[in-house]
Structure 1
Amino acid sequence: MSDDRNPTHAPAPTDAEHWCEHPGCDKWGCYGFARSKAEKPTWHCSEHYPHKPFNRE
């Protein structure tokens, strides 16, 4: 029986820094958007994400 609750390996490092692409914004871009896997995604913070299904006013 093995104890899988405490992994012995470190978490994987992030590959890139994703900052919000809105001019003048210095927040973390937690939402990425691309039309396909071939297209480079754009990154936006929650305030400037253009496709907001979660913010219906």
Structure 2
Amino acid sequence: MSITNHSTAPGANVLFEHYCEEPGCEEWGGFGNSPSPSVPTRWWCWAHFPHKTYEQEQALRRKLDAAHPKETVQ
């Protein structure tokens, strides 16, 4: 990997690690939200992200149900 054209500004190439803010969750917090620039951003994993649309929530539910099918009782 080349470092050509990378910024030399102080702090420009700093990596921040954000983990989910849900207690007990150790997933990567790739989804952040802040109501304004003066309020620090809070981070969540996709499963705990509170700002999903109804359609996104339903898609997540289908994905989780497919990954862990419920046993049928006969």
Greater RCO structure (CA 8 Å; 6+ sep): 1
Q: Which residue of 1 aligns with 2:4?
A: 8
Query: Letter of the aligned partner of 1:26 in structure 2?
Result: E
1:38 aligns with 2:38: yes
Structure of greater Rg: 2
Q: Which has the higher helix share?
A: 2
**Identity across matched positions, percent:** 35
TM-score normalized by structure 1?
0.72
Unaligned runs of 5+ in 1: 1-5
Q: Which residue of 2 aligns with 1:25?
A: 25
Change in 2 beyond 3 A, CA 1:40/1:24: same
Task: Give the root-mean-square deviation of aligned CA atoms.
Answer: 2.3
- Distance (Å, rounded) in 2 between the aligned partners of 1:56 and 1:17: 25
Say how many residue pairs are matched.
51
Q: CA deviation at 1:38?
A: 0.3
Change in 2 beyond 3 A, CA 1:56/1:24: closer
The structure 1 segments of at least 4 consecutive aligned residues displaced by more than 2 Å after TM superposition are: 9-13
